[in-house]
Structure 1
Amino acid sequence: MPQFFLNKRLIILLVSIIVLVALIGFSLREREKLSWPEQFIKDTSGWVQSLVSKPTNYVAGFFENLQDLTNTYEENKELKSRIENLASLEAQVQELKKDNEELRDVLGEEKTLRDFEPLPATVIGRNPDRWHEMIIIDKGKLNGIKKNMAVVTANGLIGKVKSVTQFSSTVQLLSSMDPKNRISAVVQGETDIYGLVEGYDDEKKLLMVKAIPSGAKIEKGQKVVTSGLGDIFPQGLMIGKVVEVKQDQYGLNQTALVKPGADFYDIKTVMVTKRSMAQADEKDLTDGKEEGS
């Protein structure tokens, strides 16, 4: 008798497994219409999900809006503070500008290394294979463009004129891997520190300012601008900000890694800078060797 019930249970178990497998196979096959139990279960579960999700989304949205409102309030306070500081800085700049003009009048100096004439231009060509090296602009010799002139965007220096034709010019970007593409720069601080923009870290997307004395103290966030001592570039063109400083392999100099102010990837309009102050004879500066601008 116990053996009979054992066999009966085994048979029921096997039949149940077969029915279950059949139902699973039936539910998984491709059908145009669902069976009424499936439709009922699906509709019921969908209605329950909708019933639960609507108040949940409402509550979540309420707290998100509240958080956004708090963030907006904090941002508004910070912007107001910046505007107040900006007004103060503008007043200081105007006073300094006035004092500078008066001193220049007294000394009889009409031009400085900072003075330049901007020549606006539009990018008309860019080789996909050399995207981070060269751009072509729609201004050339007829517009007064000359080799080695600095080229900038609204956010900072991007490169210099490499070659010129009558109607267009080729600009070599700072992100170019050309080791001869050197620019005289200064790290601004209590004491200005001079170096050369020489090379680009393609992996980190950072410029390398080399030939900085090992004893010079440079901190993260300091601004790097053109020095104006290379005879071609005006002084004070924004290059970027220091993000890291490291010693060279011999420990004699330092290299500052600088995040560029300009975006080298997306360039549409530029300005070519024509320095106002008279330039020295290039042979006197280079003595037959190429120097940074």
Structure 2
Amino acid sequence: MPQFFLNKRLIILLVSIIILVALIGFSLKSRDQLTWPEQFIKDTTGWVQTVVSRPAHYVAGFFENLEDLQNTYQENKELKKRLDELAVLEANVQELKKENVELRDILDKKDSLRDFEPKQATVIGRDPSQWHELLIINKGKSAGIKADMAVITSNGLIGKVKSSQQFTSTVQLLSAMDPTNRISAKVNGDQTYYGTIEGYDEERKLLMLKKIPYDAKIEKDQTVITSGLGGVFPGGLPIGKVVEVVPDEFGLTQTAYVKPGANLYDIEHVMVVKRQMIEPGVEDKEEEQ
């Protein structure tokens, strides 16, 4: 009896294999139309794939978008950092260019100063409340800087040393509203006329050259320089150019409004000039430099 069931199972297995092989051969055969079981299985499989693939694609796309967003954020952050660095770099380049031009101009000016000794210095301090009055430079008594020495830039005179400490000095600008801030000057032309720089017109940003003779014939754009007659400042330092000449209130003298050659608002590098030949009795001359 057991042998019979064993043979029956073997026969069923062989028949199943034959049917399977026949089905495989039938399915591999080239046909224009599938049988309904094949169509059912393919349609069912396609529907299941659609149901599974859509959420899978959605989830995968969601995580890909998150990754892309994170990458975009990091790239944006890096680009902003580089833009900030670029802005700082451009600002530094502009400052270096400006400083290079100023230093070259000062070196050129230094070569042309033959009658006095120039000492180069850098502005290290400027009080906003006294912007047009005073500034501080990084040279003092140890560098031979003394009070009343002229201070210039490559474009002209800006003022004088008001006081000197061991390693720094305070410079009083031409634009300082100080009645004792006077500088002997002259107007160059076919004929030379003398006067003194006294005061500053804040509204027009012009220096006032006073005590010019009432009959002096001065024209616009004539050059104003230091006269050297005060005994402290050397002669020939450029101050500026004449903009306008008006008579004083009594008509006895004239006042020339002078545009400074140097930019009194933006000053970084200067030269302090020491006159090599001091006239006798210069210590007694306090009103005019």
TM-score, length-normalised on structure 2? 0.60
Q: Say yes or no: does 1:262 pair with 2:238.
A: no
- Give SS of 1:257's match: strand
Q: Say yes or no: does 1:239 pair with 2:239.
A: yes
Q: Distance in 1 between matches of 2:238 and 2:153?
A: 10
Q: Check the 8 A contact 1:114/1:228 in 2, yes or no.
A: no
Counterpart code for 1:133: E
* Structure 1 residue ranges (4+ consecutive) displaced by more than 6 angstroms after TM superposition: none
Gaps of 5+ in 1: 1-96, 98-112
TM-score, length-normalised on structure 1? 0.59
Q: Which residue of 2 aligns with 1:216?
A: 216
Q: Deviations over 1:240-290 (max 9, x none)?
A: 00000000000000000000000011100000001111332235x53xxx3
Q: Which residue of 1 aligns with 2:288?
A: 292
Q: Which residue of 2 aligns with 1:24?
A: none
The correspondence of residues 23-102 of structure 1 with structure 2, limited to 5 A, is none
Q: Check the 8 A contact 1:228/1:234 in 2, yes or no.
A: yes
Q: Which residue of 1 aligns with 2:93?
A: none
Deviation at 1:114, TM superposition (A): 6.4
Q: Check the 8 A contact 2:232/2:278 in 1, yes or no.
A: no
Q: Which residue of 2 aligns with 1:185?
A: 185
Q: Deviations over 1:59-117 (max 9, x none)?
A: xxxxxxxxxxxxxxxxxxxxxxxxxxxxxxxxxxxxxx9xxxxxxxxxxxxxxx96001
Q: Say yes or no: does 1:174 pair with 2:174.
A: yes
Aligned Cα root-mean-square deviation (Å): 1.5
Q: Which residue of 2 aligns with 1:248?
A: 248
Q: Which residue of 1 aligns with 2:150?
A: 150
- Give SS of 1:264's match: coil
Larger radius of gyration: 2
Deviation at 1:167, TM superposition (A): 0.5
Structure 2 CA distance for partners of 1:254 and 1:211, relative to 1, 3 Å: same
Q: Check the 8 A contact 1:198/1:208 in 2, yes or no.
A: yes
- Give SS of 1:119's match: strand
Q: Distance in 2 between matches of 1:248 and 1:157?
A: 25
Q: Check the 8 A contact 1:114/1:234 in 2, yes or no.
A: no
Q: Distance in 2 between matches of 1:137 and 1:280?
A: 29
Q: Which residue of 2 aligns with 1:77?
A: none
